[in-house]
Chains A and B, each alone.
Chain A
Amino acid sequence: MTYALEISALEKTYKGGFQALKGIDLTVEQGDFFALLGPNGAGKSTSIGVITSLVNKTGGKVKVFGYDIDTDLEKAKSFIGLVPQEFNFSQFEPLVNILVNQAGYYGVSKPVAIQRAEKYLKQLELWDKRDEPARTLSGGMKRRLMIARALMHEPKMLILDEPTAGVDIELRRSMWDFLKALNEEGITIILTTHYLEEAEMLCRNIAIIDGGEIVEDTSMKKLLAQLDVETFIFDLQANLTLTSLTQFAEQSQSIAYRVIDDHTLEVDLNKSQNLNQIFEQLNAANIEVLSMRNKSNRLEALFVSLINKKSSTTKAKQQSAVVGAN
């Protein structure tokens, strides 16, 4: 099977000696919606830079739809559409020119490019601005312009580096819908984001990178299954009374809970417990639930624990190396 992206033993050491990538291995299947997560400086943008040939690798192999970037770079590039983290278009050119020129770099003829520019500018709600210089756009519009630009040659794989950074919630959700629709059309999407909720909402598979190493590479479902405890917030119908609370406390001795205020209860649920059990105990205590929600982003908790686990392993290794040296 040909992967959309196949990375093996990828290394990058910058001129100053900083090793940004320490031999990472990664595969992304065709048609996947893949998240690459990691803290700042983890190596996400360097990885994307190498894949898109903006960064020269020091070692390893990268294949895009089976084409090795060392031997078939131009072919490999033709499959990729890139939406970078920072705005990288001419601020002085009108939107249509930016898009038509970009298509031209991929050998798309001008009449076809003009049609596609109209299609994507309309889909991304930028058509009214088509003749304006790019500098007049708002931050959210500039992000959408970069998505339109990346699609002009109709790539098979779209790589988005923090595409919704600084974008308001409404716009972010419309961008999510747009990306989901693209993925349903068969475009492989690789996404880096700081909004972990975004990765959880959109992506089927995920890799977590930290310190230039892949610390987790799995499906989103398997990753979330690693969570031991989830916290739920219950909004209550009526005020909590001392009697009902005492009754609930007696019945639910194995459940950790906190009273946030007289209308809100926070409950921690581990894998061996289920929500039915909680509802039964709440019912028995005459506590009526109006609504319920997750307290925090589940992926965020897991992400923090994975990163912490990795840094404590590194520290332990360093300490044992020091002890060994002594």
Chain B
Amino acid sequence: MNNSIALKSILTKEVQRFTRIWVQTLVPPAITISLYFVIFGSLIGSRIGEMGGFDYMSFIVPGLIMMSVITNSYSNVASSFFSAKWQRNVEEMLVAPVPNWVIVAGYVGGGMCRGILVGLIVTLVSLLFVDIQLHNIWVIIATVTLTSATFALGGLINAIFANSFDDISIIPTFILTPLTYLGGVFYSISLLPEFWQGVSQVNPIVYMVNAFRYGFLGISDVSLVTAFSVIIFFIVTLFTVAMVLISKGIGLRS
């Protein structure tokens, strides 16, 4: 069987899904980010002064872009895969000779496409408020790609376990959002007391935001090697978990 056609079919379906409902999927992040810039950038940011040697608006741009990438990669896969379970059209794939890795790659690819597209939209909106500088484009591309893959995998696992629409909003609300806000989007973790700096180091989002910020500004609270090691560790772990769950048919087969 030609797995590349199956992969392309899942990926196309996923991209068609979020572009068909673009008002729900692509517009809100642009509006949200504009509000962040107006409130934290222009109104409050101007009173904060510099952070990490840059004005506050420039400092928070990478974090805000990354926040949008994380949220959208995660929620795209979580809602799409759960909807497929709920409407039972996931059975279209389960009865077909599609290998499990193709299902995982297709959905994760779809989540990555939305995360990266939203990241681009948010970057364009940011240009209305601040001049963005690029320190290392390859670090930016690598970080955004790997981070979106990590959270798309997380969204998939969430959807596999979910039994109701409430179940796909619990993780983003109670885990993802706090981790993102405490992940150094709005501040440098070097400003925190030593104890909280240590606590922050178990938050994976700190590594993603800092690696991404390095790509733009050339500054980071953590080393790039550590940051990429952490991200790759999460990707491998989450991919393995997703594969095991789908192979066993957890939440999919009775």
Residues of B within 8 A of A107 (CB): 1-3, 5-6, 97
B253: interface (CB < 8 Å) = yes
Say if the beta carbon of A86 comes within 8 Å of chain B.
yes
Q: Which of B26-34, B82-90, B160-168, B213-221 contacts A (4 or more CB under 8 A)?
A: B82-90
In chain B, positions 206-225 with a C-beta closer than 8 Å to chain A are none
Known contacts A92-B20, A93-B13, A101-B10; 5 further A-B pairs (Cβ under 8 A): A54-B254, A77-B95, A92-B17, A101-B9, A104-B10
What residues make up the interface of B, taking CB atoms closer than 8 Å to A?
Answer: 1-3, 5-6, 8-10, 12-13, 16-17, 20, 83-84, 87-89, 91-99, 249, 253-254
Please, which residues of chain A bring their CB within 8 A of the CB of B249?
Answer: 56
Q: Which residues of B contact A80 (CB under 8 A)?
A: 95
Report how far A28 CA is from B222 CA in the complex, Å.
64
Contact yes or no, B253 A105, CB < 8 A: no
Contact B87 A97 (CB under 8 A): no
> Contacts A101-B92, A104-B8 known; A75 to B97 CB distance under 8 Å?
yes
Known: A86-B88, A88-B88. A105 touches B254 (CB 8 A): no
The distance in angstroms between the C-alpha atoms of A78 and B3, with both chains bound, is 13
How distant is the Cα of A92 from the Cα of B89 in the complex, in angstroms?
A: 11
Chain A interface main SS type: loop
With A54-B253, A89-B87, A90-B84 known to touch, is A108 a contact of B5 (CB < 8 Å)?
yes
What's the least CB distance linking A74 to chain B, in Å?
A: 4
CB pair B96 A88 closer than 8 Å: no
Question: Contact between A88 and B92 (Cβ–Cβ < 8 Å)?
Answer: yes
A contact residues vs B (CB 8 Å cutoff): 14, 49, 52-56, 73-75, 77-78, 80, 82, 84, 86-93, 97, 100-110, 149, 153
Chain B positions within 8 Å of A93 at CB level: 13, 16
Contact B96 A55 (CB under 8 A): no
B254 touching A55, Cβ below 8 Å: yes
**Given that A92-B20, A101-B9 are known contacts, is A54 also in contact with B94, CB under 8 Å in the complex?**
yes
Q: List, in ascending order, chain A residues with CB within 8 A of B89's CB.
A: 88-90
Q: Is the CB of A101 within 8 A of B254?
A: no
CB distance from A306 to the nearest CB of B (A): 28
A53 close to B95 (CB less than 8 A): yes
- A109 and chain B: residue at smallest CB distance: B5
Subset of 22 A-B contacts with CB under 8 Å? A53-B94, A54-B94, A54-B95, A55-B253, A56-B249, A74-B99, A75-B97, A86-B88, A87-B88, A88-B87, A89-B87, A89-B89, A90-B84, A90-B87, A90-B89, A100-B9, A102-B96, A104-B6, A104-B10, A106-B6, A107-B6, A107-B97
Residue of A nearest to B7 (CB): A104
Pick from A14, A75, A82: contact of B95, CB below 8 A: A82
B163 to chain A, nearest CB (A): 14
Q: Are B254 and A49 within 8 A (Cβ)?
A: yes
CB neighbours (8 Å) of B98 from chain A are 105
Bound together, the chains give a CA A104 to CA B88 distance in angstroms of: 18
How far, in Å, is A192 (CB) from chain B's closest CB? 16
B253 and A56 contact, CB distance less than 8 A: yes
Residue contact B87 to A105, C-beta cutoff 8 Å = no
In the complex, which residue of chain B has the Cβ closest to the Cβ of A150? B95
Complex Cα–Cα for A55 and B88 (A): 14
CB distance from A11 to the nearest CB of B (A): 14
By a CB distance below 8 angstroms, the chain A residues around B253 are 53-56
A117 to chain B, nearest CB (A): 13
Complex contacts, A97 vs chain B, CB 8 Å:
13, 16
Least Cβ–Cβ distance between B88 and chain A, in angstroms: 4
Which of chain A's residues has its CB closest to B249's CB? Answer: A56
* A101 touching B3 in the complex, CB below 8 Å, given contacts A53-B253, A90-B84: no
B8 and A52 form a contact (CB under 8 A): no
Residue of B9, B87, B91 most packed against chain A (CB within 10 A) = B9
CB pair A106–B87 under 8 Å, yes or no, is: no
Complex: A92 Cα to B93 Cα, angstroms? 17
Known: A14-B254, A56-B253, A78-B1. A105 touches B88 (CB 8 A): no
Q: Once the chains bind, are A74 and B97 in contact (CB under 8 Å)?
A: yes
A78, B97: Cβ atoms under 8 Å?
yes
Complexed CA–CA distance, A75 and B97 (Å):
7
Q: How far does the Cβ of B41 sit from chain A's closest Cβ, in whole Å?
A: 37
